[in-house]
Amino acid sequence: MDLVKRPRRLRTDERIRSLVREQRLTREQLVYPLFVREGNGAPTPVPSMPGICQYPLEHLTSALSEVVACAVPAVLFFGIPLHKDAMGTRAYAEDGIVQQALRVAKDRFPELYLIGDVCLCEYTDHGHCGLVSDGQVLNDESVELLARAAVAQAESGADMVAPSDMMDGRVGAIRRALDQAGFEQTPIMSYAAKFASAFYGPFRQAANSAPQFGDRLSYQLDPANGDEAMRDTALDVAEGADVILVKPAMAYGDIIYRTKQSYGLPVAAYNVSGEYAMVKAAAAAGWIDERRVVLEALLGMRRAGADILVTYHALDASCWLQEP
Ligand code: PBG
C-alpha cells in the first residue's frame, strides 16, 4: 500500500483529536424544562421520566438552587393547574402557576434566564392546545388567549416566551401584544417546527395534558413533511420569531440542519420526553452508557446546527461537562 491520504493521522491521540475537533458542547447552551404545579405537598415524581418531578411552589426554590448549583443558565417553565376548564383560564390568569413561578424565580435567582412555555393544553379540560368548538380546534380565538398568556408571563418576569401550540399567526399576535404592553425587548422562541410526535408520550403524563379526544394532527406537523416545516418556519420568521425551535430533536436532525441553513437565526433543539425516557430506561437496564449516549446525542444536535439545547438531561450533562 502506498497511501498519501491517511485520515487516521489526525486521530493518533487525544492531543491532535482535540485540536481538530469541530464541535464542542458547553453548559452555556443548555435549557432545563421544569414542571411547576399548583397545590401543596412533596414534589411529584413523573414515573416515565426518572429524575423529573412536578414541583409545587413551596419546593421551587430548592429545585432552582439545584439548577444554579449545576451551572445551567436557563429554565423553561411548564405549568400544571389544579383545575382545568374549557378556556384554559389558568394559562393567562395573573396568579396562574407559571406566572407565580416566574415571580419567585426572578426574585430569588436573577442570574437564571427564565423562559415561559405558552400553550393551552396543560390548562384546558379537553387537553387541546387551543379552544375547541364542535370537535374542532379553533385558531384565531386561541391565538388571542395565547397572546394574553405571553403578556402575563412577561409581566411576571419571563425573559423570553416560547409558544408551543402551533396555531397559525400566533407569533405575530404575541409580538404585537408584547410590544403593546411595553415588552418589545422580550424575545419569542417559536416552536416553528413542532411535529405530531409519539415521542411526547411521557410529557403528557408529566403535564397531565393528553388530548381527551382525537389527536394533534390538525395543528402539529406531519412527521413525513420537511418542506412543510420550512414553510411554517418562514411564516414564524416573518412574524418576528427571534429563535426557532425544532421538536423533537433526535429523529429530526435534517430539520435542524435545514432551519439553520435557511434562516441563519438561532436554532433550539428540544430533546423531548420520549427521547429522555428511552435513554433512562436503557441506562437503568445497563444496556447503554448513559453519560456517553446523552453527550453524543446532544453533540449530534449541535452538529446538525442547534445553538440551544432544551433537555431534561441538562443538569447531568452540565455536571459531566465540567468534570475534567
Ligand atoms: C404542548 C407541549 C408538548 C410538549 C411541549 N409542549 C406536548 C404536546 O404537544 O403534546 C412536549 C415536550 C416533551 O415531550 O418533552 N404544549
Which helix or strand (DSSP H or E) is residue 301 part of?
Answer: helix 290-304
Parallel, antiparallel or unpaired: strands 189-194 and 132-133 = unpaired
Which residue in 84, 106, 247, 280 is the catalytic one?
247
Residue 247 known to be catalytic: yes
Biggest CA–CA distance in the chain, Å, is 74
The cell for 250 is 433526535
Instruction: Name the pTM for this structure.
Output: 0.96
Of 302, 301, 285, 283, nearest to 293 by C-alpha is 283
Q: Give 201's Cβ-side CA count (13 Å radius).
A: 9
Residue having the nearest C-alpha atom to atom 8 of ligand 1: 200
Query: Which pLDDT belongs to residue 259?
Result: 98
Each residue of 6-44: pLDDT tens digit? 999 999 999 999 999 999 999 999 999 999 999 999 999
Each residue of 41-85: pLDDT tens digit? 999 999 999 999 999 999 999 999 999 999 999 999 999 999 999
Q: Which atom of ligand 1 sits closest to the CA of residue 274?
A: 14
Q: Which atom of ligand 1 sits closest to the CA of residue 201?
A: 14
Q: What integer is the mean pLDDT of 288-306?
A: 98
Each residue of 100-114: pLDDT tens digit? 999 999 999 999 999
Q: Where are the beta strands (DSSP E) in 5-141?
A: 30-37, 44-45, 53-56, 74-80, 113-118, 132-133, 136-137
The cell for 183 is 415588552
Identify the band that residue 208 occupies on the pLDDT scale cut at 50, 70 and 90.
Answer: confident
Write the DSSP string, 175-190.
Answer: HHHHHHTT-TT--BEE
The pLDDT > 70 percentage for the chain reads 100
Neighbours of 185 (CB within 10 A): 9
Each residue of 251-269: pLDDT tens digit? 999 999 999 999 999 999 9
Pocket around ligand 1 at a 6 A CB cut-off: 117, 119, 121, 129, 164, 200, 203-204, 209, 216, 272-273
Q: What integer is the mean pLDDT of 301-312?
A: 98
Write down all domains in the chain, each with its CATH number in brackets: 24-320 (3.20.20.70)
Give the distance (Å) from ligand 1 centre to CA of residue 200: 6
